[in-house]
Amino acid sequence: MPKHEVWTSVKIVAWTKEYLSAKGIENARLEAEWMLSAATGLNRVGLYLNYDKPLSDSELAVYRDMVSRRARREPLQHILGTQEFCGLEFEVSPDVLIPRHDTELLVTQTLLRSPPQASILDMGTGSGCIAITLAKRLPAAFVSASDISSDALSVARRNAIRNEVNVEFIQGALLSCVPDRKFSLIVSNPPYIPTADIDQLEPEVRDYDPWTALDGGADGLGIYRQLIPAAVDHLLPGGWLLVEIGIGQAHDVAECFTSIGRYQEPFVSLDEQGIERVVGAQIKERL
Ligand code: GLN
């Protein structure tokens, strides 16, 4: 960004669009506008109302730093510090997976099956986005959220406060941290990327999302193989287990539910792109 120019919003957004596009970033104009909003404290309409006003030196310094971080493919969400999910705002950091739009389907499918006073566990909560959204939409439910990472849980706790909901947070792996407890629904968006594929991911994901939030073992299915049988002992009568899955995993995950013989026929639901994204099943009544 040449130093001796007079930088107005219009000029700087145009310059950044070219610069970041050349670095392989797709929505460079929009991202430039978001960073400029954050640097100036103006919303996007405000930016264009002040389109010919030169930026101050301090605004420029903050903005320059953001653009150079983004040019190194640091995710925009880490630079801005937040991500929207199901209409709520979540703090994000390198300690948690950035909430994905695709994961909203898991929330929708859970809401369809949840009685108002359900007890719900979100296993591997990360930022807390699933648990907190469920707690917001089901005010009479009791929502718990677990994660193996205490750093992730700190972020999730702050997100519960930010969104004014009560969620019980528990540290631990899988279901060992909730011994003797049973839930109406257990939901999870576990790590499901096959280890060898992680290298192929976009730099924003590969280099900045926590490895433990991505790595699903050799074939990506490691957590499902443990969680699906383990959940049997943690579901109330009529309870459901719902999981998000990666591309091409529906058949194997559904098979995992079926092979145990303790669940009803699993359902598979598709995301907006027609990709199988959520698999779930209801526990069979014991005879
Ligand atoms: N539950 C969190 C989310 O969906 C974190 C998932 C994860 O870390 N794999 O965003």
Same domain, 46 and 114: no
Query: Is the pLDDT at 286 greater than 80, yes or no?
Result: no
Tens digit of each residue's pLDDT (9 = 90 or more) over 206-249: 999 999 999 999 999 999 999 999 999 999 999 999 999 999 99
Distance 8 CA to ligand 1 centre (A): 39
183-188 β-sheet, strand order = 168-171, 142-147, 119-123, 183-188, 235-244, 276-282, 267-270
Residue whose CA lies nearest to ligand 1 atom number 10: 99
Structural domain of 157 = 93-282
The pLDDT of residue 1 is 76
Same domain, 171 and 142: yes
CA-CA distance, 3 to 60, in Å (whole number)? Answer: 10
**What does the pLDDT average to over 176-180?**
93
Same domain, 192 and 58: no
Same domain, 45 and 150: no
DSSP string, 226-259: HHHHHHGGGEEEEEEEEEE--TT-HHHHHHHHHH
The pLDDT of residue 4 is 75
Same domain, 159 and 242: yes
Model confidence at 285, pLDDT cuts 50, 70, 90, reads confident
Q: Domain boundary at 18, 39, 72, which? A: 72
Count of residues making up the chain: 287
Same domain, 226 and 103: yes
Does residue 168 sit within a domain? yes
78, 208 contact by CB (below 8 A):
yes
Model confidence at 51, pLDDT cuts 50, 70, 90, reads confident
Ligand 1 touching residue 98 (CB < 6 A): no
The number of domains in the chain is 2
Ligand 1 touching residue 127 (CB < 6 A): yes
Tens digit of each residue's pLDDT (9 = 90 or more) over 252-264: 999 999 999 999 9
Which CA distances in Å does 22 have to 15, 38, 60, 72, 73? 11, 23, 21, 12, 12
Same domain, 173 and 39: no
> How much is the mean pLDDT over the chain?
95
128, 90 contact by CB (below 8 A):
yes
Ligand 1 touching residue 126 (CB < 6 A): yes
Same domain, 64 and 198: no
160: exposed, middle or buried (Cβ count in 10 Å: 0-12, 13-18, 19+): buried
Distance 125 CA to ligand 1 centre (A): 5
The pLDDT of residue 255 is 98
Residue whose CA lies nearest to ligand 1 atom number 5: 126
Distance 54 CA to ligand 1 centre (A): 41
The total of other beta-carbon atoms located within 10 Å of residue 261's CB is 8
Does residue 230 sit within a domain? yes
156, 163 contact by CB (below 8 A):
no
Same domain, 126 and 173: yes
- The domain spanning residue 247 has which CATH number? 3.40.50.150
92: exposed, middle or buried (Cβ count in 10 Å: 0-12, 13-18, 19+): buried
Same domain, 33 and 145: no
Beta bridge partners of 123: 146, 188
Query: What residue type is 101 in one-letter code?
Result: H
Does residue 3 sit within a domain? no
Does residue 78 sit within a domain? no
Residue whose CA lies nearest to ligand 1 atom number 7: 213
CA-CA distance, 256 to 262, in Å (whole number)? Answer: 11
Structure tokens at 16: 């950044």
Does residue 213 sit within a domain? yes
Residues 6+ apart with CB under 8 A from 228: 241, 243, 253, 256, 257, 260, 263
Model confidence at 287, pLDDT cuts 50, 70, 90, reads low
Query: Is the pLDDT at 153 greater than 90, yes or no?
Result: yes
Beta bridge partners of 220: none
Tens digit of each residue's pLDDT (9 = 90 or more) over 86-105: 999 999 999 999 999 999 99
Does residue 85 sit within a domain? no
Structure tokens at 200: 């192929």
Does residue 4 sit within a domain? no
Distance 126 CA to ligand 1 centre (A): 5
CA-CA distance, 43 to 164, in Å (whole number)? Answer: 24
